[in-house]
Amino acid sequence: MPKPCDLQINIDGQQIFLLKEKVISKYCGGLKKILNHRKRRGHVKQELGIRINDFPGGPEGFELVSMFCYNNGKIQITEANVCLLHCCAVYLGMTEEVLSNNLLQQTEAFLQGIFNWKWSETLVILKSCERFYAYADGYGLLEKIISVLAKFVQNSDSNLLMSSPSASSSSSSPETNSAKRFSFSSKKTTPEKIKSTLSRKAWWFDDLATLPPNIIEKLVQAIGAYKADNKDLVLTRFLLHYLKLATQTRVVNSSNNSAYAALAETATYGVISVGKEIFSCRGLFWVLRIVSKLGLGRDVRTELEKLIGGMIEQATLDDLLVSGHDMGVYYDINLVIRLVKVFVDMNGSDDGMCLQKLKRVGRLIDKYLREISPDQNLKISKFLGVAECLPDSARDCYDGVYKAIDIYLQSHPIITFEERSRLCRCLNYTKLTFEASKDLAKNPRIPPRVAMQALISQQSKVPTIDYVTESPRVKPSQLVLYNEKTRNSFTKEKKEMELNIDKMQWGVIELAKLHKEMNGHVSKLILLDPPRSSSSPRFC
């Protein structure tokens, strides 16, 4: 009659295995030492139970070990289970010192052929290590497997860059890989060919995209293109593809964020190494959107922003609309301010080419201001930060800034009088068109002194006008435009201005004060109507 099981093994608190001590001790040196130690301390048979926490592969891994032991040291080893069996053998001390041709020796013999395996076989082994990554890494398995994978990737990089863009993906398959590594000094490879080739995915992109970030990080290290050392264009493209999928599927969490951040930094250094020769301004903004979500380091982010800022005149409004994370603001206002300041520092000279670029950026920023103005969380300081990050020479006309201010005031109706005046400080009244000045003057959201200053600034654009005083019957608040040649005729602009002044009675009082200061306490003034050829009336 066979002896009953006399040993209990509790694996991770998930499953209890009832085993024969003699069978398990024959192969597992680690368990044999534990049992012998307990016996020497006087434990009885009933107490010979062992709990093992964090076993490689959990209950599944221990079940494979049990099968090996109960089958007289034999088990079918495959690509799918070799890594798990190897880790279990190391963990339990299943070495040749315990028994000849033990499990550890059998798995090592199987792994000796790893450098001759196909891509698919190597990938299967690597994916099997995800469940017991720490053990596979600690026992040196990952280093072996990833070194094989790195050779596949490096050789495929060479073929991808050396082949024509129209070539099929089969030309870069594992079976046809060249043994040579791509060299930047290759005469056959031009920047144009590289740029067109990089728009395509290599055959291995999607295969590796399912791997966890810690394995990808080790792959990058094995290739020798980690962080600042990354000069590999195809690897950079893969990392961006990988990180984009990660952000879209939201698999990034606190436990793996550091690994993703390291990959984002590596990808960014790869982008910086080729700069604008390969990536367009829109492409760089695309990169920035991806890596910004993964905790990019300050130094590498600064370098990327310098690259973007240096060519921001090529950007569009959509490029600048990067999501923000600061105090609920919808867009990243600080980013745009930093990029524009970089551009101004690099293009601050007064030569014609730089001035044209500056004006192009000025028009872009005015569009951006109008886009962000409705944001309820946008502070006046941030609005001014964007409006004033460019020098005055960047704008021939400030109508765009005024429109943005008007949108802001409509969207923020409760801001104080002082805040409204502060908001308008970014306007250059002399660079407002006459139409914009008229609209500003009758805008009830604009403080009266600001409106009067805008109107008065127009006087430099019209010829000198004679001023006469009419009958004392005229009320001090009545101001009439008068021209000696067309005394009895009023233009359309004049009528609109009179209607405007009637609506702004509070503004007239302010204007009277300005007149007294400028003309020696003139209390009754009639402005003669200017000719139609004049661009605007003159105010004194």
Question: Tens digit of pLDDT for each residue in 184-236?
Answer: 333 344 555 555 555 567 889 999 998 999 999 999 999 999 999 999 899 99
pLDDT of 176 > 80? The answer is no
Is pLDDT of 539 > 50? no
- Structural domain includes residue 35: yes
Residue range 365-407, pLDDT digits in tens? 999 999 999 999 999 999 999 999 999 999 999 999 999 999 9
For residue 40, being part of any structural domain is answered with: yes
Residues 74 and 143 in one domain: yes
Question: What per-residue confidence (pLDDT) applies to 143?
Answer: 92
Cα 167 to Cα 215: distance, rounded to the nearest angstrom: 30
The answer on 111 and 37 residing in a single domain is: yes
Query: Could you tell me what percent of the chain has a pLDDT over 70?
Result: 73
User: Does one domain contain both 55 and 146?
Assistant: yes
Q: Which domain holds residue 264?
A: 202-309
Three-state SS across 450-468? HHHHHHHHHHHHCCCCCEE
The neighbour count for residue 249, using CB atoms within 10 Å, is 8
DSSP 3-state of 39:
helix
Residue 237 CA: distances (Å) to CA of 160, 179, 223, 377, 475:
12, 21, 15, 36, 76
Picking from 154, 186, 218, the residue at the C-terminal end of a domain is 154
What lies within 8 Å, CB to CB, of 94 at 6+ separation is 27, 28, 29, 30, 65, 88, 102, 103, 104
In contact, 9 and 62? CB cutoff 8 Å: yes
Q: Rounded to whole angstroms, how far apart are CA atoms 229 and 242?
A: 19
**Highest-confidence range of 139-153, 360-374, 501-515, by mean pLDDT?**
360-374
Per-residue confidence (pLDDT) for residue 49, from 0 to 100: 79
How many CA atoms within 13 Å lie on the side-chain side of 403? 15
Q: Where does 347-441 have alpha helices with state H?
A: 352-372, 380-387, 399-411, 417-423, 434-441
Q: Say how many domains are in the chain.
A: 2
- Do 22 and 146 lie in one domain? The reply is yes
pTM (predicted TM-score): 0.75
Structural domain includes residue 445: no
pLDDT > 50? residue 490:
no
Q: Are residues 231 and 129 in the same domain?
A: no
Angle between helices 141-162 and 119-128 (to 10 degrees): 140
Give domain status of residue 429, yes or no: no
Q: What is the DSSP string of 91-145?
A: HHT--TTTSTT-HHHHHHHHHTTGGG--HHHHHHHHHHGGGGHHHHHHTTHHHHH
pLDDT surpassing 70 at residue 359: yes
- DSSP assignment string, 355-371: HHHHHHHHHHHHHHHHH
Asked if the model's pLDDT at residue 465 lies above 70, the reply is: no
Tracing tokens 């960047």 back to the chain, one arrives at: 394
Domain membership flag for residue 94:
yes
Mean pLDDT computed over every residue of the chain? 79
70-94 residue pLDDT tens: 999 999 999 999 999 999 999 999 9
Q: Are residues 241 and 144 in the same domain?
A: no
At residue 117, the pLDDT reads: 87
- Given 287, 309, 331, the domain boundary residue is 309
The CATH number that applies at residue 56 is: 3.30.710.10
Chain centroid to Cα 206, Å, comes to 22
Q: Tell me whether residue 113 is in a domain.
A: yes
2 or 74: whose pLDDT is higher?
74
12 and 123 assigned to the same domain: yes
Same domain, 49 and 148: yes
Residue 320 lies in a domain: no
Looking at 291, 309, 327, the residue that finishes a domain is 309
14 and 132 in a single domain? The answer is yes
Give the sheet arrangement for strand 49-52, strand by strand. Answer: 15-19, 7-11, 49-52
- 9 and 134, same structural domain? yes
pLDDT score of 472: 42
pLDDT digits 0-9 by tens, 146-170 = 999 998 888 876 555 444 333 333 3
Predicted confidence at residue 354, as pLDDT, reads 87
Report if residue 144 sits inside a domain: yes
Same domain, 150 and 216: no
For residues 137 and 23, state if they share a domain: yes
Q: CB neighbours (10 Å) of residue 379?
A: 14
Alpha-carbon distance 233 to 275, whole Å?
A: 11
**Cα–Cα distance measured from residue 431 to residue 457, given in angstroms and rounded to the nearest whole number:** 9
Query: Does 246 have pLDDT greater than 50?
Result: yes
- Point out the least confidently predicted range of 49-63, 109-123, 137-151, 346-360: 346-360
Q: What is the pLDDT of residue 198?
A: 53
